[in-house]
Amino acid sequence: MTENPRDIADPPDLLVDDRSDVLSDTIRAVALRGVAASRWAPPLPFRVTIFAGGPVVHLAEAPIVIAGAGVPDVEMAAGDLCLLARGVQHQVVSPGAAGRARPLGAGDRYGVSPAAAAWVTGSYRATDVGAGLLDELPPIVVVRAAAGHEWQPLAAQLLVAEIEPHRPGASVMIGRILDLLLIHALREWSSSTKTGSGPLAAALDAQLAPALEVIHREPGKPWSVDDLARLTQQSRSSFAARFRAKVGLSPAAYLIERRLMVAAEKLRNTSAPSSQIAHAVGYDSEAAFSRAFRRQYGQPPRDYRNSVLRTDDER
């Protein structure tokens, strides 16, 4: 008996679950991604300075202290992780080390220095919008290697395996692992503290999730406050008040911001004409879209796309 192929395997479109969520969309839209990792082993005792730059995570392989980050010193045990989302200058210190700090240098890399590995650092790159998004976070977010966080030592092992030796595909693997660490740090931040207001806090708010999800899924639709309130099963006034408190914007202002974020992502990553992008994100007039985009990003869509292309060519 001949079997129907449909009885053997699901159609390909059923095998792909392309559902997204607000936090993923937010991170994707601002092009925030992990780019590199390095392993450090300064000779003991050490007090080394890491100068201000992009966001970083540190995964401790031995006891260390994070100092000078604008908060009280943070003691870290092996397996602990910390995210310095604002990229502020800080120091990594061996317990009990005294004296003045010196800059972290190439001679402190594991394998160059004779000392044992002390920590792994991962770095991130973001657009200007992404960097602004991370300003919501405190100077440092710490995730302890405790029950429920069994993924942390595994992530550290995976990072180390890709750093040494540098194997084919290592940069992609490292980027993916760092992206996972960022998500875990954001979840820890949202569950353990009062998150305040802003896009990241809103993306992690269960009551607002139904409204935010439809805005992110279909930003081109003319969503009204009444439409969004019904989705969250709140009154119009209660929904609008909670939305402003958590997001920092009115629903209408957030919809505009989201539309322009999606437009910026399309300008960066596709060759679609500006008129097509304008229509896709809910603008009937390309001129109105261009004016709104310029207010948000400081330049019209064409100039924005050209500046991204120039930046990519220079890298």
Q: Are residues 147 and 232 in the same domain?
A: no
Q: State the CATH number of the domain containing residue 167.
A: 2.60.120
Q: Are residues 183 and 219 in the same domain?
A: no
Element (H, E) at 241: helix 236-247
Residue 166 has pLDDT above 60, yes or no: yes
Last residue of a domain, one of 192, 217, 245: 192
Residue type at position 143? V
Number of separate domains in the chain: 2
Whether 17 maps to a domain, the answer reads no
Q: Are residues 188 and 239 in the same domain?
A: no
Q: State the CATH number of the domain containing residue 293.
A: 1.10.10.60
User: Per residue in 189-209, pLDDT tens?
Assistant: 877 656 666 777 777 788 888
* CA nearest to 51, candidates 104, 98, 126, 93: 104
Q: Are residues 185 and 217 in the same domain?
A: no
- Identify which has the larger pLDDT, 76 or 69: 76
User: Per residue in 16-66, pLDDT tens?
Assistant: 444 567 777 777 666 678 999 999 999 999 999 999 988 999 999 999 999
Please tell me the predicted confidence (pLDDT) of residue 314. 53
Domain that holds residue 214: 205-314
Whether 197 maps to a domain, the answer reads no
Tell me what the mean pLDDT of segment 76-96 comes to.
93
Q: Are residues 159 and 270 in the same domain?
A: no
Whether 137 maps to a domain, the answer reads yes
Q: How far apart are the first and last CA of the chain?
A: 59
For residues 133 and 182, what is the distance between their CA atoms, to the nearest angstrom?
13
Please tell me the predicted confidence (pLDDT) of residue 203. 77
Q: How confident is the prediction for the chain on average, in pLDDT?
A: 85
Whether 73 maps to a domain, the answer reads yes
Q: Are residues 130 and 235 in the same domain?
A: no
DSSP codes joined into one string, 183-198:
HHHHHHHHHHS---SS
Please tell me the predicted confidence (pLDDT) of residue 194. 61
Last residue of a domain, one of 129, 159, 192: 192
Whether 198 maps to a domain, the answer reads no
Q: Are residues 68 and 174 in the same domain?
A: yes
Last residue of a domain, one of 165, 192, 219: 192
* CA nearest to 160, candidates 120, 116, 202: 120
Q: Are residues 167 and 253 in the same domain?
A: no
User: Per residue in 92-141, pLDDT tens?
Assistant: 999 999 899 999 999 999 999 999 999 999 999 876 655 567 777 888 99
Residue 188 has pLDDT above 50, yes or no: yes
Residue in the block written with tokens 């960097």: 131
Residue 218 has pLDDT above 80, yes or no: yes
Band of residue 70 on the pLDDT scale cut at 50, 70, 90: confident
3-state secondary structure of 109: strand
Which DSSP letter does residue 113 get? B
Q: Are residues 180 and 68 in the same domain?
A: yes
- Identify which has the larger pLDDT, 59 or 157: 59
Whether 14 maps to a domain, the answer reads no
The percentage of residues in the chain with a pLDDT greater than 90, rounded to a whole number, is 54
Whether 272 maps to a domain, the answer reads yes
Q: Are residues 188 and 231 in the same domain?
A: no
Please tell me the predicted confidence (pLDDT) of residue 20. 60
Q: What token pair was written down for 226? A: 């009444």
Please tell me the predicted confidence (pLDDT) of residue 153. 80
Please tell me the predicted confidence (pLDDT) of residue 183. 86
Q: Are residues 187 and 228 in the same domain?
A: no
Band of residue 282 on the pLDDT scale cut at 50, 70, 90: very high
Residue type at position 44? L
For residues 294 and 300, what is the distance between their CA atoms, to the nearest angstrom?
5
Please tell me the predicted confidence (pLDDT) of residue 310. 62
Please tell me the predicted confidence (pLDDT) of residue 7. 44
For 179, phi and psi rounded to 5 degrees? -60, -40
Question: What is the maximum span of the chain, computed from C-alpha positions, in angstroms?
Answer: 82
Q: At what angle do helices 236-247 and 225-232 cross, to 10 degrees?
A: 90
Q: Are residues 89 and 155 in the same domain?
A: yes
Whether 10 maps to a domain, the answer reads no
Residue 15 has pLDDT above 60, yes or no: no
Please tell me the predicted confidence (pLDDT) of residue 6. 39
